[in-house]
Every structure is written in C-alpha cells, then in structure tokens.
Structure 1
Amino acid sequence: MTKKNYRRRRFVRVTVGAVAILVAIPLFVGVYSLFKPLPKGISTQSDFVKTDDLDLLYDVTYEDKNKAVHHEQEIVETMYEVIDHAEDFLLVDMFLFNDDYNHDTLEFPTLSEDFAARLVQKKQESDIPITVITDPINSFYGTYDTHVYKKLRDAGIDVIETDLSKLRDSNYLYGGYYRMFLTWIKPGGLKILPNALRPMDDKVGIGSYLRLLNFKANHRKTIMNEKEAVIASLNPHDGSSLHSNIAVRFSGDTLNDLLKSETAVLDFSGYDTSKIKKYEVETDKNTGEYEISLVTEGKIREALIDTVNEAEAGDSLKIGVFYLSDRGFIKALKKALDRDVQVQLILDINQDAFGNEKNGIPNKPVASELMNYKNPPEIRWYKSHGEQFHAKFMLHDNGEDSTLIVGSSNFTRRNLKDLNLETDLVVKSNSDSEEMISMNEYYDRLWNNKNGIYTLDYEEEAEDSIMKTILYRIQEGLGLSTF
C-alpha cells in the first residue's frame, strides 16, 4: 500500500469516526431519549369513581363598557383554603413559583410571596409536613437559590426541584448533543449571559441556558391535603397573577391517585418518600353525581382524542386553551367537524408573555388551518390586556351527558405526548348537573360577551401566514420551542 493510499484511507476512517461521534451517535441518543421508558408512575389514568364533592373554579379578566379592566379570581383563595384546612399534610406541585419578570418596567401582584407566606404560616401554626415540588426553571436550572425557596426552607418546608433528566427529550436533536457533550457544564459556572427571566439581576451561567434549551418541564399545578385537592391551570407566579385560569376542587378516592402520582415525581427526583407513602387520605363511599378520573401526561391526550372521537352529529365540543398545536388532536377535531359536531374554540392570541411580545404561534396558524378547513369550527380570541387566557379545558355535551377534561395541560405535543409532566381531571356527569351547568354558563359568558368584553371575533385577529405555519410545524415536530 502506497503512502498516498494509506493517508487516504486514514482520512476516510477519521472522517467516518468524526461523523459518527458528532452526528450519528448524538442523533441515536436523542431519538432514544425521545422514546425511552418513562419513570414508574408517570403517564397514568385512574379508575373512575363517584363523588358529590366537586367544584369548578374560574379566574376571569375582562373589560366593561367603559373600557375598565376587571379581574374576578377565586382559584388562589380556594388553594389557600386547602392550606388552611390541612390537618395531616400538604403536598404542592407548581410549575412556576417565583417573582421572575422585569421589575424595572413592570409591576404585578406579589402572588408568589403571598402563596409562600401562607404555607409558612401553616407550617408555623401546625408543624404538619409540607412538601413543595417545582420545576428547575424557578432557580434558572440551579443558577441561584430563590428567595421563595429560602423562605420555605427556613420554615422547615421541603422544596424539591424535579429531576428533568429522567424525562424524555422533547427537543431531541439538541438533547442527544446535550446528553453526550454538555452536561459537564454546570449552571453556576461562566456567568456571562443576561438573565432572560430577571433582566434586572446579575448575569447567569452558560450551563443554565444549555439546560433551558432542552425545553421540558414539570408543568403540573396541584395542591392537596388529606381531605381535598385542587388541579389548576394557575401558577403562583407574579407575572401570571392576572391570567384567566380554570381549576377544579374535589375530594374522594381520587385523592389517593393524585398522591401516588406526585409521589412518583418525588421518587425519580431522589427524594425520600417513605413518610409520604404513609400518608392517609379521607375517602368517601364512591357515591355522587360526578364520576372523576385522574389523568397525567400522555393519558390526557388519549382522553381528549377519545372524547372527541365519541362526539356525534349534533353534539357540542367547547374548548378553551392557551396553546393548541398537537397534530393528532387537530386531526380528531377535523373528523368531528366532518360528522357535524358543533366545535367552538376560545383561544389565546399568543401575543403577550410577562411584558414580552410573542408572534402568535402556534394558535394563529392552527386557527387559520381550521378556519380554512372544508367544515370550519367557530373560533373566538380571548382579548388580552397584557395577560393570557391561560385556561386548558374541553367540554363535550350530547344533550344528556357531559364530559369535561380540565387541568394543567395545553393541547400541544410537549404537553400531551409524555414529554412534560402534566395533571388533568376527567369529569363525567349528566348535563343538568350543577357544575356542568356552571361550566356552560362560564363558556357562554365568554363566548357571547355577557356583561363585559371577553372575546373577539375571529376576523379581528385572523392571520394567514405561510411562514408562521411552516415555523409552527417545524417547532411542533422537532420540539424547537417552548410551547
């Protein structure tokens, strides 16, 4: 073999090896991490049980005829009641629990501080065990200890950040490279980048942004004691404090399912759950007019699509959601429209995020797609005053029976396909039950602008942009976004 041939073969081997290390192997790792086994206790649906103890809760922002903005809120106060009523334990799981926003240019109610103070007060008065689960975004992925964390921990309250590395990788093309080459860069080092969450604060580390780019989260919003629980779309986050939200408070046997679901998160996050596994909840005799089932992660998607598929001609589907983008759900909606199901959607405009302007993705291109379908639905936009229509629910009504799915999950790939952690409740009852009547009245109030201005005609904010449609489809398919 000549030296020239040897060098050529060596170059080929080196090139193939480099491509394998820099492209093929990270891609394999990324794809594997998209489909790897889920932690035990994740993506579950509980059995349906009956209860009479169930209340739907609404936070609503609207304008009156004089353009004055009003905020009607009841979710946080109900959560405070759960705290106050606790006698044996409190277990809280909240995605955003901080005061992160630009304090130099904006001002919001001190919701995170007030919520933390309520927990601390309960701990000081009763000394019951209180455990708070949250997402690493609150400390910018380990860059700093927040004052909320410090306040809670100083009072003897356990605060646990979810170990997101155990979850599947939504942004899988990046995730393979991150897992192979970048995990060694710690959040506290190389603090040379501006803090995107708190612009007025000190700079943060490169490692924090590298973790952020994985675009995954514990997105749950739950609070429970031994007698009752609330599952919500609300975060105890100052910048989110004026959002329009929805929640459900309930009691009964399903509390056991919620407790197991939250214990699973603590288990894979390295927390000693031996004491939590000894908690006992008060259950009823499985009687009542409401049948409820706890659904988490991918089981939420199954419940949504199954419910849409069950809708027949003349039935109604009423949807209100902050983000709508999941392709399987959109496909199911189109088939329902073809069956002459009446579909109404109230969507956030996706233009505001804590003082920052957004581009309308994904709701604008998805709404355009649906309205250009051969059998279009009815769509209205929730009118924003800087806040968000942050609710996440779907109501199916056939005139006799109703099914409501409500909770933390947006209708997106990340929220519905076993990537984020999410918690919803499925509620079934007669259509003339008190809470289903309440739900319809709430929706009709928003849809028809009763005693205020809540929603806008589709045409007022319609946008038919090919570029935004392409961008949405790329972001949804590859996980290259925060929705």
Structure 2
Amino acid sequence: MRKVLFILVTIFFITYCGTILYHSYKPLPKGLSYEGRIYRGTDKEVTLLTDLTYQRGNELKVEHEIFPRVFQIIQEAEQFIVCDFFLFNGYYDKHLHFPPLSESFANQLINKKKQQPEVRIMVITDEINTSYGSHKSKELERLKKNGIEVIMTDLDPLRDSTPLYSSIWRMFFKWFGQSGQEWIPNAMADNAPKMTIRSYLKLLNIKANHRKTIATDKTVFIASGNPHDASAYFSNHGIEISGPIIHDLLESEQAAVNISNGPKLPIYTEKGGQQGDHQFQLLTEGKIYKHVLREINRLKAGDELWMAMFYLADRKIIHSLLEASQRNVKINLILDPNENAFGNKKSGLPNRPVAHELHKKSKGKIQIRWYNTKKEQFHPKLIFIKKDKYSLIFNGSANLTSRNLADYNLETDIKIKAPNQSKVVHQLNRYFHRLWENRDGDFTLDFSKFQSRFIYFQEGIYRMQELLQLTTY
C-alpha cells in the first residue's frame, strides 16, 4: 500500500507541476499582446474625456463626460459598433443606490439597432456578468433578443495568473462546467442571482477580459470605465481617436473573439494616418508592459512623470520608478487608497504598502497623494510623461500590476506622443495640477493619511501574495 500511495502521490505531483508550468508559459493565442502601427494625426483627431467624483466642502460633486460621449458615438455610427467591456451589469448591494448605467447603455444599443437595423452591433464581454455561468445576464439577453451579437470571452486559452490554484481547478473541477442549481449567495452583490459552487471555483482563477473599448466606422474610444451601475460614480479617463487606428482596434478585438470561437468582425479599410505632429499607437496585454517600462527607464533628470492609478503593484514598474527617482526625475503619483469596493471596505492592498515602499526608498523624492474617495473608486489607469519638447500618454484598461500587464488578462491601452503645446497636453497639465493642488475641490489627501502602524503587516501580505501569485489585483 505504501508503494501504491507513493506512486499515486508522485503521479499527482508530476501532473500538478506540469500543469503549472504549461499553463504559466504556454504560447499566447494568435493576435494577443498586440502592438499596433504608429499613426500620425493632429489635435483634431484626439479627445480626452474625464469622469470625476469629488468633495467640495460638504457637497458631493460629479463631473462625468465619458458615457454621455459614448452614447453620442453610438448614435453617430453608420456601419458598425463593436464594444468590449469587462463589467456590464446592474448588480450591487441593496442598501446602495446608483444610476442605471448598464440599462442606459443597453437601451442606446437597442434603440440604435431598431432605428438603423443595417448597422451591425457586437458586444464582447466577460463571464463575470453571468457570475461565471451561474445565471443569464438580463442586459445581455435583451441585446440578443434585439438582434445584437454578444460574444462571451473564453479565457481558458490564456495563461494562468494564479497557477497554484488554477492547476487544481484544471485537473479536477473544470470538466464539470458551471451551470446548475444556484444556491450560494453572490459574493459580488447581494441583489445578484445566487451562484453555483462550480462558478465560485472558476471565479477563483482570477482572470478577465478587462478591456473597455468601443469602435465604430467613425472613431475609437479607449477608457478605464465600464457600463456598470456600481461603477457609475468612479473617476475615470477615456481617449477618443478617429482615423485608421480603428483598423488596429478591430484587429486586436478579433483576437479576443477568435479565442471564443466568435464571428468575423467588421473591417475598416480607409487609408490615412500619416499627417500631423501627434503619434497614436494601440497596445494590448504584454506590449503595454513593454512600452511603459521602456519609457520609464528612458526618463532623465528634469523629465516629469505624473500618474493617476487605481492599482500599482508590479515589481518591475516599482523598481523602474525608484531608479528614475535617483536620476532626479520628478515623479508625482495620485493613487486610489484601496479603501472601498462597491461600498464594501477593502484592505488597502496593494497601493498602501507599495506607496510606503516608494516613499521610503526614494527618500521622499517620489511624491504621492491619495485620491479622496468616499464610496466610489479613483479608477484611472493614466500615465503622463512630460519631456522638454513632447509628452507621452498611456491610457486604457491596464492597471500597473502583473495580472494586467504580463499577458494574463485581456487589456487595451492607447499610447500617444504629442508636442507640449498640444491641446491634450494642456488638458492633462490642468487635470493633474487641479487634483494635486485641490483647486476648486477636495480632490486629494496627503501621503501620511493612509500610512498606519499596520503598514509593515500589509507589506508582508502584499509580498507574500506577489510571491505566490495569489492576488485579486
């Protein structure tokens, strides 16, 4: 019996380790980790849109531009609309109240299809909206009934971001599927349908189609926000660009559709993109990582780096920021304190221990302020690098974490190079200084606000999570 047990344990161990290695390093599906062409354009072809929720004294102020413009983009389309959004639902805890953003977004698409049935409309999204197969989505079912194509992304072909767990799931649980009798309360919201245990087991793989894009025959829009009720008050950023970059976004989305055995997307064939003093480039997944690291490592004394970021955790990014600070690069970070998640209390991970490390190791050269969130989140993924003659901008869905950057999630960012006298650079200068200096609002708090006596305990947890790759961020 001992010999049999030894053989069984050995077989399990070899299979388990082999599964970890293969699904951690397997080739990416074709078309992912996409690096688009560099297109040239002018100020007229790029628009920065901002959502801000903030305090002014005792008054809550809301300045939102993103989805009003998204709704206009839907109305202006003449041939096709291709949307890809991570969160698209109206679920939240019953004691909270949010605008019906998901319903409004669905209504816009449905009304467009009724008014112009010849316009092809496609929505790509993530299984989180069906609680990983536990139930149907009210919003998505409405779209299907009205002739809108819905593609649920199959994430199994992606590499595993939590390999210690995902290998067990692949070996023992994946084969049973997720559907069945729902009986467990939904962890994401108490007004959401109940879940099956098999859906929870899939949820624990923590992988996502995290993109937030919309493409039409007129324009592309790349953002950090979702048509999700509980996210309606989040502070976010979006960038709209017209011209041939539409082709690249559709090409990158075709890769996401292909891994899900979906249909062919529309093709954009108009020429152009060679005139102007602005440069635009579409990046997805690991190519975002490559470009962000390269640009931080190229910074020199006198350059400025501003960042508005929901999550900052990746070790290579952290090391590059510290090295840049030693080269006398001016670095200002505005971070979410990771205090709230859809009305629920969070632990402060990863931003608080990371901020403590950056502040301490740079000896205060890296300046950090916290966004003054209440029940909402400071949700941008925005990097603004200002050099002598030009500036670089990264914006989109990718947080600065390994999960978002290292080819685990599906992510989309836009990279822009613009002269310092351009409109978009002036807009970002005003945005960052307004928040940093609390001009006409109580936007940001001093670094010391969220540095408690528990910070070293938080840092230990963060380091252990990073080491074992057992994180939710």
What is the Cα deviation at residue 197 of structure 1?
2.0
What is the Cα deviation at residue 283 of structure 1?
4.3
Matched, 1:213 2:204: yes
Check whether the contact 1:51–1:288 (CA below 8 A) recurs between aligned residues: yes
Over residues 309-355 of structure 1, what are the superposed CA-to-partner deviations in whole Å (9 max), with x where a residue is unaligned?
A: 11100110001100000001001101101100000000001010111
2:70 aligns to what SS in structure 1? helix
What is the Cα deviation at residue 203 of structure 1?
2.8
Partner in structure 2 of residue 433 of structure 1: 422
Q: Is the deviation greater in 240-249 or in 73-82?
A: 73-82
Partner in structure 2 of residue 342 of structure 1: 330
The aligned amino acid for 2:327 is R
Partner in structure 1 of residue 111 of structure 2: 121
Q: 1:55 aligns with which of 47, 55, 69?
A: 47
Partner in structure 2 of residue 385 of structure 1: 374
Cα distance in 2 for partners of 1:197, 1:397 equals: 39
What is the Cα deviation at residue 362 of structure 1?
0.1
Partner in structure 1 of residue 292 of structure 2: 304
Cα distance in 1 for partners of 2:467, 2:381 equals: 21
What is the Cα deviation at residue 394 of structure 1?
0.8
Check whether the contact 2:325–2:362 (CA below 8 A) recurs between aligned residues: no
Partner in structure 2 of residue 287 of structure 1: 275
Matched, 1:255 2:246: yes
What is the Cα deviation at residue 212 of structure 1?
0.2
The aligned amino acid for 1:482 is T
Cα distance in 2 for partners of 1:399, 1:437 equals: 14
Matched, 1:64 2:56: yes
Check whether the contact 1:51–1:284 (CA below 8 A) recurs between aligned residues: no
The aligned amino acid for 2:59 is A
Matched, 1:365 2:365: no
Cα gap change, 1:46 to 1:285, in 2 (>3 Å): closer
Cα distance in 2 for partners of 1:182, 1:331 equals: 38
The aligned amino acid for 1:72 is E
Superposed CA RMSD in Å reads: 1.3
Partner in structure 2 of residue 169 of structure 1: 160
Over residues 348-402 of structure 1, what are the superposed CA-to-partner deviations in whole Å (9 max), with x where a residue is unaligned?
A: 0101011111000000000000111144300000001110000001111113111
Over residues 251-286 of structure 1, what are the superposed CA-to-partner deviations in whole Å (9 max), with x where a residue is unaligned?
A: 12211110100011111101121xx2x522544342
2:472 aligns to what SS in structure 1? coil
2:176 aligns to what SS in structure 1? coil
The aligned amino acid for 1:46 is G
Cα distance in 2 for partners of 1:427, 1:366 equals: 27
Partner in structure 1 of residue 387 of structure 2: 398
Check whether the contact 2:91–2:192 (CA below 8 A) recurs between aligned residues: no
Partner in structure 1 of residue 440 of structure 2: 451
The aligned amino acid for 2:10 is A
Matched, 1:76 2:64: no
Cα distance in 1 for partners of 2:96, 2:210 equals: 25
Partner in structure 2 of residue 23 of structure 1: 13
Matches within 5 A, 1:134-145: 134-145=125-136
Matched, 1:187 2:187: no
The aligned amino acid for 1:62 is Y
Matched, 1:322 2:310: yes
Q: Is the deviation greater in 30-39 or in 334-343?
A: 30-39
Q: 1:242 aligns with which of 208, 228, 233?
A: 233
Cα distance in 1 for partners of 2:76, 2:327 equals: 47
Cα distance in 2 for partners of 1:399, 1:368 equals: 30
Q: 1:105 aligns with which of 92, 95, 98?
A: 95
Cα distance in 2 for partners of 1:432, 1:317 equals: 17
Matched, 1:46 2:36: yes
Structure 2 length-normalised TM: 0.96
Q: Percent identity?
A: 41
Cα distance in 2 for partners of 1:399, 1:202 equals: 54
Check whether the contact 1:106–1:355 (CA below 8 A) recurs between aligned residues: yes
Cα distance in 1 for partners of 2:128, 2:389 equals: 44
Over residues 38-85 of structure 1, what are the superposed CA-to-partner deviations in whole Å (9 max), with x where a residue is unaligned?
A: 0100001112110120011110111113x1010100010111121111
Matched, 1:466 2:456: yes
1:92 aligns to what SS in structure 2? strand
Structure 1 runs (4+) deviating above 6 angstroms are none
2:370 aligns to what SS in structure 1? strand
Cα distance in 1 for partners of 2:206, 2:355 equals: 24
Cα gap change, 1:75 to 1:283, in 2 (>3 Å): farther
The aligned amino acid for 2:255 is A
Partner in structure 2 of residue 4 of structure 1: none
Structure 1 length-normalised TM: 0.95
Over residues 208-262 of structure 1, what are the superposed CA-to-partner deviations in whole Å (9 max), with x where a residue is unaligned?
A: 0011000000000000101101000001000000000001000122111101000
Partner in structure 2 of residue 3 of structure 1: none
2:318 aligns to what SS in structure 1? helix
Over residues 418-447 of structure 1, what are the superposed CA-to-partner deviations in whole Å (9 max), with x where a residue is unaligned?
A: 000000000001111111111111111111
The aligned amino acid for 2:84 is D
What is the Cα deviation at residue 189 of structure 1?
2.7
Cα distance in 2 for partners of 1:202, 1:373 equals: 46
Check whether the contact 2:90–2:102 (CA below 8 A) recurs between aligned residues: yes
In the comparison of the two structures, how many residue pairs are matched?
A: 468
Show structure 1 runs of 5+ residues with no match: 1-9
What is the Cα deviation at residue 139 of structure 1?
0.2
Larger Rg: 1
